[in-house]
C-alpha cells in the first residue's frame, strides 16, 4: 500500500508556559524528566532549531544517518527538518536551547557552514557555557516577570552563544558580510531549493525562476558552502530520498514520484550515481536499521 506512512515523529514548536518569545532554554536533565517514555531515542523531525552543549558526561546522537559520539565539549545543532534521535543521553548534562527559524534572522550563512556536531576545547566550552547561562537567566527572568522580557535581548544573547560555540570554519566573521551580493544570491537559491527541489531538478530551472544566470548561482553557492550549485541541489534531493526510503513505507517507485522523477529508472540512476548503490539496496540496510544503527561504537 503506497500510503507513505511515516516512522518519524513530527515535532512542532510548542513552547512551555512562560516561553512565548521564540526561544526556550532547557537542559538534558529537563529533557529526560519530560520524556519518561523515552521517545527521544526514536526518529523525530522538528520544525525548529535545537542547539545543545555537553558540559559533562557522554552519550550518542544521530542526525540524518550520521552517528555522533557525545562527550564533554560536544556541540550539537539540529536544524528544522532534520531527522534525528537522541540515541543515548542518559549520562549527558548541559544546556539545550530550542528556537524558531526566524528568531535569528541574518544568521543563515553560519548555519549553512556549521556541521551537525563538533567539539569545543575546554576554554571555548567554558565560555560557551557562560553564554548559555546568561541566556538562561534572562529567559527565566522574562518568564517570571514579563515586564523584563526583551525578545531582542534574548535573540542577541542566543547569537552570542552561537558565535562563541561555532567551529572556526563556520565563523560568520570569516564569511562574506550579510550585505554581500554572493551571500544574498546564495540565500535566495537555498530557499528556492528547499521549496522546489521536488519539481526543479536542474540549476537552470532555479536560475530562470530567480532571474540569475546559472553561473551566478554556482559562484555564490561555492563562495558560501564550498560546493557548486548542482552538487548543493543534488545533495538536497538525495537527503530527502534517504529520508523517504528509511522512514516511510513508500515503495521505491512512490519515492521517485514524491521527489518529482519521471520514472523509477531515472530515480534509480540518480540515487546510484550519488551513493554507489540502488535505492532498494540502500533501504535494505538503513530502512530496517535498529535503534543503534548509524551510531559509532567507539571514538
pLDDT of residue 241: 97
pLDDT of residue 299: 30
Judging by beta carbons within 10 Å of its beta carbon (0-12, 13-18, 19+), is residue 222 exposed, middle or buried? middle
Instruction: Return d(Cα 46, Cα 80) in angstroms, integer.
Output: 6
**pTM score:** 0.80
pLDDT of residue 287: 78
Angle at 75 between CA 72 and CA 79, to 5 degrees: 155
pLDDT of residue 107: 62
Show the DSSP H helices in the chain as ranges.
28-34, 108-113, 122-144, 151-165, 181-196, 203-210, 214-225, 229-247, 252-258, 264-275, 279-286
Number of neighbouring beta carbons within 10 Å of residue 149: 17
Instruction: Give the pLDDT confidence of 95-105 residue by residue, as tens digits.
Output: 999 999 888 87
Q: Report whether pLDDT(290) > 60.
A: no
Instruction: Give the pLDDT mean for 209-224.
Output: 95
Cα atoms found within 13 Å of the Cα of residue 50, Cβ hemisphere only: 29
Instruction: Return d(Cα 69, Cα 88) in angstroms, integer.
Output: 9
CB 151 within 8 A of CB 24: no
CA 100 to chain centre: 12
The proportion of the chain whose per-residue pLDDT surpasses 90, expressed as a percent, equals: 69
Amino acid at each position: 500500500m503506497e500510503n507513505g506512512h511515516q516512522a518519524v515523529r513530527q515535532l512542532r514548536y510548542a513552547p512551555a508556559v512562560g516561553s512565548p518569545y521564540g526561544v526556550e532554554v532547557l537542559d538534558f536533565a529537563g529533557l529526560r524528566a519530560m520524556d519518561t517514555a523515552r521517545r527521544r531515542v526514536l526518529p523525530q523531525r522538528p520544525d525548529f532549531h535545537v542547539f545543545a552543549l555537553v558540559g559533562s558526561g557522554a552519550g550518542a546522537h544521530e542526525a540524518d544517518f550520521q552517528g555522533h559520539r557525545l562527550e564533554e565539549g560536544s556541540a550539537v545543532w539540529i536544524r528544522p527538518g532534520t531527522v534525528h534521535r537522541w540515541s543515548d543521553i542518559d549520562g549527558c548534562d548541559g544546556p539545550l536551547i530550542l528556537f524558531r527559524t526566524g528568531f535569528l534572522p541574518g544568521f543563515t550563512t553560519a548555519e549553512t557552514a556549521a556541521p551537525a556536531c563538533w567539539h569545543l576545547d575546554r576554554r571555548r566550552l567554558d565560555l560557551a557555557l557562560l553564554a548559555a547561562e546568561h541566556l538562561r537567566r534572562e529567559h527565566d527572568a522574562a518568564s517570571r516577570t514579563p515586564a523584563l522580557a526583551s525578545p531582542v535581548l534574548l535573540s542577541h544573547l542566543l547569537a552570542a552563544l552561537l558565535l562563541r560555540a561555532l567551529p572556526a570554519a563556520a565563523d560568520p566573521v570569516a564569511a562574506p558580510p550579510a550585505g554581500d551580493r554572493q551571500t544574498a544570491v546564495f540565500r535566495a537559491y537555498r530557499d528556492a531549493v528547499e521549496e522546489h527541489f521536488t519539481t526543479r531538478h536542474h540549476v537552470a530551472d532555479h536560475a530562470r525562476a530567480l532571474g540569475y544566470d546559472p553561473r551566478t548561482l554556482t559562484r555564490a553557492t561555492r563562495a558560501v558552502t564550498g560546493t557548486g550549485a548542482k552538487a548543493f541541489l543534488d545533495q538536497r534531493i538525495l537527503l530527502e530520498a534517504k529520508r523517504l526510503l528509511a522512514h516511510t513505507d513508500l515503495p521505491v517507485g512512490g519515492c521517485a514520484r514524491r521527489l518529482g522523477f519521471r520514472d523509477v529508472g531515472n530515480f534509480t540512476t540518480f540515487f546510484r550515481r550519488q551513493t554507489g548503490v540502488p535505492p532498494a539496496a540502500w533501504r535494505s540496510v538503513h530502512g530496517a536499521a535498529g535503534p543503534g544503527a548509524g551510531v559509532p561504537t567507539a571514538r
